[in-house]
Amino acid sequence: MEKIDEEALAEAYNRALALEKSGDIEAAVKAYEEVLAIDPEDHGGAAVRIASMGRGETPDKAPDAYVTTLFDQHADVFEDVLVEQLEYHVPVLVRQRLQALALGPFKRLLDLGCGTGLTGGALRDLAGDMTGIDLSENMVEVAHDKDLYETLYVAEVVDFLEDNDDPSFDLITATDVLPYLGGLEALFFGVAENLEPGGLFIFSSETLPEETLAGRRFMVGPHQRFAHAPDYVRNRLDETGFDLVEMTDITVRLEDGQPIAGHLVIARLRA
């Protein structure tokens, strides 16, 4: 791999951000394209920023290098920012819905995108064995220090699902994973391959109004996160062998003080 010119990258990225902030979209897009030329692995997420401005092709997922860099940099303050400032409470909502529907306890839980262990902490007493997966090594280190999971892996979630040889799970969670994925086929197929028949798949997603989505299955929203059309989520679940238990409207988090709309989805793998 060629060595990145860090100084040139920083200059190009800061210029692109300034142009984007000023509202000069066309110039910002060109500047982000210069960023991509310097850093093809896209540690700064230039591709999703271009897509969030309605330009270029919508990527199928956020670049792994971008997700890794983003969460490695914020691991130490992640929970304070996400829970206290952005009012993210999806793991608590997952627990509440499981209890309301009298689902569980579970033998083996797989927590995709486990982060620092927020979902693991919320569900620890509902599962006999818990495995956590995250792309960020720094986030996994924080989760490890909490002693919540029997097993932790540093891996991209779809790659892990494709390569996993461990026994199947009866609960798989993916809270705050879909905002970094566009196409859902690989994720849903991978989950189905790793679930016991009758097992549950619980995940959160973000969405946008129908007029904004304009018939698209998914798009990158204004905050560089993927939003999914509810019908796309339902159809992909059905096509990969899941029955929908419920899809609940939720506020996923705040962004600039405004609520971000989304869904909490519970699906069961058909026997």
List the domain boundaries for the chain.
6-76, 77-269
What are the DSSP E strand ranges found in 135-168? Answer: 151-154
CATH fold group of domain 77-269:
Rossmann fold (3.40.50)
Q: Which of 27-36, 77-86, 127-136, 182-191 has the lowest average pLDDT?
A: 77-86
Amino acid 5: pLDDT? 85
Number of CB atoms found within 10 A of residue 84's CB: 10
- Which residues lie below 8 Å from residue 264, measured CB to CB, with a gap of 6+? 90, 93, 94, 97, 202, 203, 204, 247, 248, 250
Angle between helix 6-22 and helix 25-38 axes, rounded to 10 deg: 160
82 pLDDT exceeds 70?
yes
Cβ density class 17-51: b for 16+ within 10 Å, e for less: bebbeeeeeeebbebbbbbbebbeebbbbbbbbbb
H/E stretch holding 242 reads strand 242-255
Q: What is the pLDDT of residues 186-216, one digit of tens each?
A: 999 999 999 999 999 999 999 999 999 999 9
Single pTM value for the model: 0.95
- Is 64 in a helix, a strand, or coil? helix
164 pLDDT exceeds 90?
yes
Output the CA–CA distances (angstroms, integers) from residue 40 to 6, 49, 188, in the order listed: 13, 14, 28
1 pLDDT exceeds 70?
no
User: Model confidence at 149, in pLDDT bands (50, 70, 90)?
Assistant: very high
Amino acid 2: pLDDT? 60
**What is the C-alpha to C-alpha distance for residues 115 and 133, in angstroms, rounded to an integer?**
8
- Which residues lie below 8 Å from residue 249, measured CB to CB, with a gap of 6+? 261, 262, 263
Number of CB atoms found within 10 A of residue 150's CB: 13
- 269 by Cβ neighbours in 10 Å (0-12 / 13-18 / 19+) ranks as buried
Please provide the CATH number assigned to the domain covering 6-76.
Answer: 1.25.40
Percent of the chain past pLDDT 70, that is, above it, reads 99
Amino acid 180: pLDDT? 97
User: Model confidence at 177, in pLDDT bands (50, 70, 90)?
Assistant: very high
CA–chain centroid gap for 144, Å, is 20
Backbone angles phi, psi at 217, to 5 degrees: -70, -40
- Which residues lie below 8 Å from residue 107, measured CB to CB, with a gap of 6+? 127, 128, 129, 170
Amino acid 54: pLDDT? 93
**What is the C-alpha to C-alpha distance for residues 53 and 33, in angstroms, rounded to an integer?**
13
